[in-house]
Amino acid sequence: MKTITVPPRSAEINALLQEAKVEDLIVRTESGDEFMLTAVGDFDREICQTRRNAKLMTLLDQRAKQTQTISLDNVKHRLGLSK
Protein backbone atom coordinates (compact mmCIF):
# COMPACT_ATOMS: atom_id res chain seq x y z
CA MET A 1 0.00 0.00 0.00
CA LYS A 2 1.27 3.42 -0.89
CA THR A 3 0.61 6.63 1.08
CA ILE A 4 0.27 9.91 -0.81
CA THR A 5 0.20 13.30 0.91
CA VAL A 6 -2.32 15.71 -0.56
CA PRO A 7 -1.14 19.32 -0.72
CA PRO A 8 -3.38 21.85 1.10
CA ARG A 9 -3.95 23.78 -2.14
CA SER A 10 -5.71 20.76 -3.74
CA ALA A 11 -9.12 22.10 -2.75
CA GLU A 12 -11.29 19.55 -4.59
CA ILE A 13 -9.39 16.55 -3.27
CA ASN A 14 -9.36 17.93 0.27
CA ALA A 15 -13.12 18.56 0.06
CA LEU A 16 -13.63 14.90 -0.92
CA LEU A 17 -11.42 13.78 1.96
CA GLN A 18 -13.48 15.85 4.39
CA GLU A 19 -16.66 14.18 3.06
CA ALA A 20 -15.04 10.73 3.41
CA LYS A 21 -14.50 11.44 7.12
CA VAL A 22 -18.29 11.46 7.52
CA GLU A 23 -19.39 8.91 4.91
CA ASP A 24 -17.66 6.44 2.56
CA LEU A 25 -17.59 7.70 -1.02
CA ILE A 26 -17.43 5.99 -4.40
CA VAL A 27 -15.52 8.15 -6.85
CA ARG A 28 -16.32 7.42 -10.51
CA THR A 29 -14.13 8.51 -13.41
CA GLU A 30 -15.48 9.61 -16.77
CA SER A 31 -14.54 6.18 -18.17
CA GLY A 32 -16.60 4.42 -15.48
CA ASP A 33 -13.79 3.22 -13.20
CA GLU A 34 -14.85 3.37 -9.55
CA PHE A 35 -12.80 3.81 -6.41
CA MET A 36 -13.77 3.65 -2.74
CA LEU A 37 -12.73 6.60 -0.62
CA THR A 38 -13.03 5.91 3.08
CA ALA A 39 -11.38 7.10 6.28
CA VAL A 40 -8.80 4.65 7.60
CA GLY A 41 -8.52 3.97 11.30
CA ASP A 42 -5.68 2.24 13.12
CA PHE A 43 -7.47 -1.11 12.99
CA ASP A 44 -8.00 -0.83 9.21
CA ARG A 45 -4.31 -0.10 8.74
CA GLU A 46 -3.39 -3.08 10.93
CA ILE A 47 -5.61 -5.38 8.86
CA CYS A 48 -3.95 -4.23 5.62
CA GLN A 49 -0.50 -4.80 7.07
CA THR A 50 -1.47 -8.23 8.40
CA ARG A 51 -2.81 -9.31 5.01
CA ARG A 52 0.55 -8.43 3.45
CA ASN A 53 2.33 -10.86 5.81
CA ALA A 54 2.62 -13.87 3.47
CA LYS A 55 3.92 -16.26 6.16
CA LEU A 56 1.05 -15.46 8.51
CA MET A 57 -1.57 -15.76 5.76
CA THR A 58 -0.13 -19.15 4.71
CA LEU A 59 -0.25 -20.33 8.32
CA LEU A 60 -3.86 -19.15 8.72
CA ASP A 61 -4.87 -20.87 5.45
CA GLN A 62 -3.30 -24.12 6.64
CA ARG A 63 -4.95 -23.85 10.06
CA ALA A 64 -8.35 -23.18 8.47
CA LYS A 65 -8.09 -26.48 6.57
CA GLN A 66 -7.43 -28.56 9.70
CA THR A 67 -10.39 -30.69 10.72
CA GLN A 68 -8.95 -32.62 13.66
CA THR A 69 -9.66 -31.17 17.09
CA ILE A 70 -8.52 -31.90 20.65
CA SER A 71 -11.06 -32.10 23.45
CA LEU A 72 -10.86 -29.72 26.39
CA ASP A 73 -10.34 -32.66 28.74
CA ASN A 74 -7.38 -33.82 26.63
CA VAL A 75 -5.86 -30.33 26.66
CA LYS A 76 -6.25 -30.11 30.45
CA HIS A 77 -4.62 -33.54 30.80
CA ARG A 78 -1.68 -32.55 28.53
CA LEU A 79 -1.13 -29.37 30.52
CA GLY A 80 -1.37 -31.17 33.85
CA LEU A 81 -4.55 -29.33 34.82
CA SER A 82 -6.84 -32.33 35.22
CA LYS A 83 -7.65 -33.63 38.68
Overall pTM > 0.75: no
What local confidence, expressed as pLDDT, does residue 41 receive?
81
* DSSP bridge partners of 27: 35
Alpha carbon distance, N-terminus to C-terminus of the chain: 52
Query: What residue type is 39 in one-letter code?
Result: A
pLDDT tens digits for range 4-54: 899 999 999 999 999 999 999 999 999 999 999 988 887 887 888 888 899
What local confidence, expressed as pLDDT, does residue 44 receive?
80
